[in-house]
Structure 1
């Protein structure tokens, strides 16, 4: 994974470079020499946050042949109980 650093001016002048660099690793955008923002690919963001694609996002996909994994979390905690009909 490669980390790229761009000034805010460089980012504004060449966003396609920043987007390409984000596919290789985080892009740190500086403001007056200090790190101010980080640009990540959506895959990296989801990996870091532990969030997968939501059902809404999956249904909103427009690309034919788009493939995704939908693995809803298991519900636990003993909330299912036998019914007592008496």
Structure 2
């Protein structure tokens, strides 16, 4: 994913240009050379940034792609020597 950069001064002078840049991908708006804000299309925001779930909700999600039961291999102790 490509990020475009724009200073806050240019953003304030030409918000239409900022919207055009954000249509192609995330636009990072900088202040004093440091990233301050990110402008993205609402559809991209909605698709990629969801409300985080609790661990309880994630484990109980029926649509999870990790539905396989966890079946670890049984540990064997036959090959281990013990000294008493």
| TM-score for the superposition, normalised by structure 1 | 0.55
Whole-angstrom distance in 2 between the partners of 1:21 and 1:44:
14
Indicate yes or no: 2:28 matched with 1:28. Answer: yes
Quote the offset at 1:3 in angstroms.
Answer: 1.7
Return structure 1 stretches of 4+ with deviation > 3 angstroms.
none
2:24 is paired with a residue whose SS is coil
Whole-angstrom distance in 1 between the partners of 2:50 and 2:37:
20
Whole-angstrom distance in 2 between the partners of 1:40 and 1:7:
16
Whole-angstrom distance in 1 between the partners of 2:43 and 2:19:
13
CA RMSD of aligned residues (A): 2.0
- Give the match for residue 64 of structure 1: none
Quote the offset at 1:48 in angstroms.
Answer: 1.1
- Give the match for residue 38 of structure 2: 38
| TM-score for the superposition, normalised by structure 2 | 0.56
